[in-house]
Amino acid sequence: MPDEKMKIGSVLFCEGFPARFANLTVTLLTSTLTEGAVLITKLVEGILIGVALVLPGLSAGTIILILGFYRNLIDDLAAFTIRPYYLHLAGAVLGTLATVYAVSYLFQNHNRLITGFIFGLLIASVPTVLGNQKKYFLRPLPLLLGASGFYISWFLVCSPTQTFTVLPPGGLFHFFLGGTLASATMLLPGVSGSAVLVIVNLYDDVIAAVRYWQWLKLFFLSAGFLVGLFGLARLLSALYRRYQVEISFLLAGLIAGSTRALLPVEIDLLFIILAGCGAVAVFLLTRLHGKPEN
């Protein structure tokens, strides 16, 4: 009898083993595929953020808000915690470099095409920055701030015959300050960090510095980027929540005025069409804007 029981148990074990092995294999494979999908998703999300970082009018903060981790990112940056975002960072670097090279090529070979498209991005970002604040349009203080921002950007920063210069154009400290301001503002939903580079008359210089690997300029830009990201972003976010109307109108005025640098000598139909394409791109992106996570 014991021998027969052992034989029966052995047969049952042999018959059950393939099923258990198959279940284990499926479980491991499913787990691996799930983890791989999560990794790829984070990388792709980072690439989208990188593209938004380069194109004026597209807000990296809005992209992050749509992707659903805006509040967590703000809190983690305040705590200097970046480990959960390594893949996002890698994707952002890839997206930024790819977009910089594309924009640089277009600037060199098809200048009218890219300037028309970016002009449309900037124009369409003005109502995006204002958001629901347009109802305050007739109040004196927001209107004054918006007009002041427009005047500063149009007549002082972007005037082709300007004699007023805050900083030496393209200087190292200019790169540092530009990186600080761009990184501090890029996390505000609806606000484009690269539009800030246009406002401070640094966008073309940054594109060229990345395109041709001008290491010293990139070092100062990166240093400013880190200062703005970890030092000013949370402060600016808190100020934005408290004075959202005033800051929104000021930024909208600055962005609207900065479009002067992109205006061609003669505006033709092609420029208008490309500007329309840029505006549509911003419109479609903002239509995807859901409610921020709590």
What are 35-73's pLDDT values in tens digits?
Answer: 677 788 888 888 888 888 888 767 787 778 667 777 788
More confident residue, 287 or 249: 249
> Three-state SS string across the chain, please?
CHHHHHHHHHHHHHHHHHHHHHHHHHHHHHHHHHHHHHHHHHHHHHHHHHHHHHCCCCCHHHHHHHHCCHHHHHHHHHCCCCHHHHHHHHHHHHHHHHHHHHHHHHHHHCHHHHHHHHHHHHHHHHHHHHHHHHHHCCCHHHHHHHHHHHHHHHHHHCCCCCCCCCCCCCCHHHHHHHHHHHHHHHCCCCCCHHHHHHHCCCHHHHHHHHHCCCHHHHHHHHHHHHHHHHHHHHHHHHHHHHCHHHHHHHHHHHHHHHHHHHCCCCCCHHHHHHHHHHHHHHHHHHHCCCCCCC
**Is 292 domain-assigned?**
no
**Is 204 domain-assigned?**
yes
- pLDDT of 248 > 60? The answer is yes
pLDDT of residue 13: 47
Residues 19-45 have a mean pLDDT of: 67
- pLDDT of 190 > 60? The answer is yes
pLDDT of residue 292: 41
Half-sphere exposure of 280 (CA within 13 A, CB side): 7
- pLDDT class for 176, splitting at 50, 70, 90? very high
- Whole-model pTM: value is 0.66
Total of domains in the chain: 1
- pLDDT of 88 > 60? The answer is yes
**Is 294 domain-assigned?**
no
Closest CA relative to residue 59, chosen from 151, 184, 163, 190? 190
Tell the residue number behind the tokens 């005037």, with chain if given. Answer: 159
More confident residue, 109 or 11: 109
- pLDDT of 94 > 90? The answer is yes
- pLDDT class for 282, splitting at 50, 70, 90? confident
Distance CA 254, CA 281 (A): 21
State the greatest distance between any 2 C-alpha atoms of the chain, in Å, as a whole number: 106
Half-sphere exposure of 222 (CA within 13 A, CB side): 10
- pLDDT of 219 > 90? The answer is yes
Closest CA relative to residue 73, chosen from 229, 244, 291? 229
Domain housing 156:
2-287
- CA 213 to chain CA centroid, Å, is 21
Residues 107-117 have a mean pLDDT of: 85
**Token output for 139:** 């109040």
Closest CA relative to residue 53, chosen from 220, 179, 199, 171? 179
**Is 148 domain-assigned?**
yes
pLDDT of residue 136: 74
Share of the chain above pLDDT 90, in %: 10
